[in-house]
Chains A and B, each alone.
Chain A
Amino acid sequence: MTFHSYQFICIVLPVLYAGFLLAHRALGWNGAFRFLGIASLAFYSAWSLALLAILMTSIVVNYTFGNLILHFREDSRVARALLIAGVGANILALVYLKYANFLIDVAAQVAHQDFAHMSLLVPIGISFYTFIQIGYLIETFAGQAERQDFWHYVLFASFLPCVTAGPLVLQREMFSQMRDRRDAAYNPVSLAAGVTMFIMGLFKKVVFADQLQPFADTVFNGVATGQFVGTTTAWLGSISYTLQLYFDFSGYSDMAIGLGCIFGLKLPLNFDSPFKATNISDFWRRWHMTMTRFFTNYVYTPIAVHGMRQIAGTEVGNLKRYALTAAIPSIVTFLVAGIWHGAGWTFVIYGLIHGFAIALYLGWSRLVGRSMPSVAGWLLTMSVVVSGLVVFRAPDLGTAANILASMWSFGAFAQAAPGVATVMFDSKIASSLVIVLGTIVLLMPNTQQILHRFAVSSDPLPQSATLEAGLLSWRPTFGSSIAVGLLLSVAIGSIGAGSAFLYYQF
């Protein structure tokens, strides 16, 4: 069941909210959180009971490891061994369930033999709930977590707004909200802000993202079946996919954050107008922010710190310093982040593109010492982003290479007879959509800026938010409710057989 279905919006959400209020009234916050934990497991079981069993096993194993680490915290060798065993168990389970068949393919290619695939269930959200819990184990080892009530832990690891596709929460931002709650469960303004965030996310998904999908699919599926597309069609298809992914995933994230606000547990922001970035480093501070935070904390920083400590107090050349403290950490981090998205060479190359781009940016900023002019920086950043997402979306590297060749050859590879993909592709409508939606992402405030008066997320807002929202700044007034009601009407009318959230596959 997805957030943008009639069943969820009209039945599940109202029933859950009523149950949450009743549990709070009868049993206080502790009861409300236990209710939410059980409701989250029930929500997840709608996919399948087998997947629920895998999630529950993951929760029980990680909770046990966390408590063992806490128990042995005075003996750092035992605690470290437990941390390594716990993180290792998570990674092994993830690799087995998600990457086994990819590794079998790689082994088959190397050995020039055919190996049969395994029949495996890939649990929805496994990359997310596994990484959330790895973060918990690391922070527990670091002395930043305390022993938790089991049902609080269940809620942290399986909270229904974020169990399927994030945001990747940190234990401290969830448990701190569960501890010592005093405020009432029913806060009309917070509820209204959360509902507004949810509706804006729903609108982004079912109106914007689903409108773009056919244009992206026509190009990518057409080229994958051996057809040729010209430069303009290739660019329009690629930009359509870039915008589709943004509206889909940021729409999902807004809905998740809105649900968190409705149920009294605020979630971190995941997007912050990424297409306004004028360099690639800034882009990753604005795109899938909780993933960037995770990989920065647990991959980039340890490698960079290790590199810096290696050369501390020694005379090394600038190139070696740059390699150890910037280039290698960036490339390794994005390679891991690419592979985290899925099993396939396209994700490996996607990660490497961004790893090298970040490494080059860090080298440039250190060597030249100042930024490029904004327009040049923006064009370069968006070229890397759109080209990278071609590799990310393509079913294989051959398809990606053909689309990129069409995009960057500027007509040099033009063929006399365009394929069905080009004939089916309505360039006028695609161009109009790209211009309208591109203008929205570049010039309009984002959802958290519109709601800046009400803390809908667990993150502080940037100081510029109030200025950027201007007249669109939301307040709980009659006018705002009419506007949000209109958005909801259009969104409800647009819910169709559209796709599931794109990030459900990761």
Chain B
Amino acid sequence: MKLNQIVANILELDAAQLSDASNAQNTPHWDSLRHIEVIFAVESAFHVRFTMPEITSLKNLGDIRRVLIAKNVLLDRVQGNAKVA
């Protein structure tokens, strides 16, 4: 599942409505509770665990993508389909 799709599912939006700049200020339904749910859904889908400093630095979709890449999550898993091990 694409990263955008995971976030879109939590926010109950169409994935096409999201971009790397999407955040709580400019995206419907993105409140503090869903922000935490987004982070956990991404952790679960990509089998990673974010540290607290990483979580507080995740302000938009682009930040999540950058941290996933920094964690060596395969690019095709971030941009394309997540390969669940």
Contact = CB atoms under 8 A, between A and B. Distances in A.
Interface in B11-50: 12, 24-26, 29, 31-33, 36-37, 39-40
B84 interface: no
B52 interface: yes
Contacts of B26: 462-463
Interface residues of A, number: 28
Interface string A356-399: 00100110011001000000000000000000000000000000
A305 interface: yes
Contacts of B31: 281, 361-362, 365
Contacts of B55: 301, 305
A462 B55 CA distance: 22
Q: With a 10 A CB-CB cut-off, give which of A296, A297, A301 has the most chain B CB atoms.
A: A301
B33 A301 contact: no
B33 A366 contact: yes
Interface residues of B, number: 18
A142 interface: yes
B56 interface: yes
Nearest to A359: B33
A463 B52 CA distance: 29
Contacts of B33: 304, 325-326, 362, 365-366
A302 B52 contact: yes
A173 interface: no
A300 interface: yes
A221 interface: no
B52 A369 contact: no
Interface in A416-465: 462-463
A111 interface: no
Interface string B51-70: 11101110000000000000
14 contacts: A142-B52, A142-B53, A144-B53, A285-B25, A296-B32, A297-B56, A298-B56, A308-B40, A326-B33, A361-B31, A362-B33, A365-B29, A365-B33, A366-B33
Given A281-B31, A301-B55, A462-B26, 10 more contacts: A296-B32, A301-B52, A302-B52, A304-B33, A325-B37, A358-B32, A362-B33, A365-B33, A369-B12, A462-B25
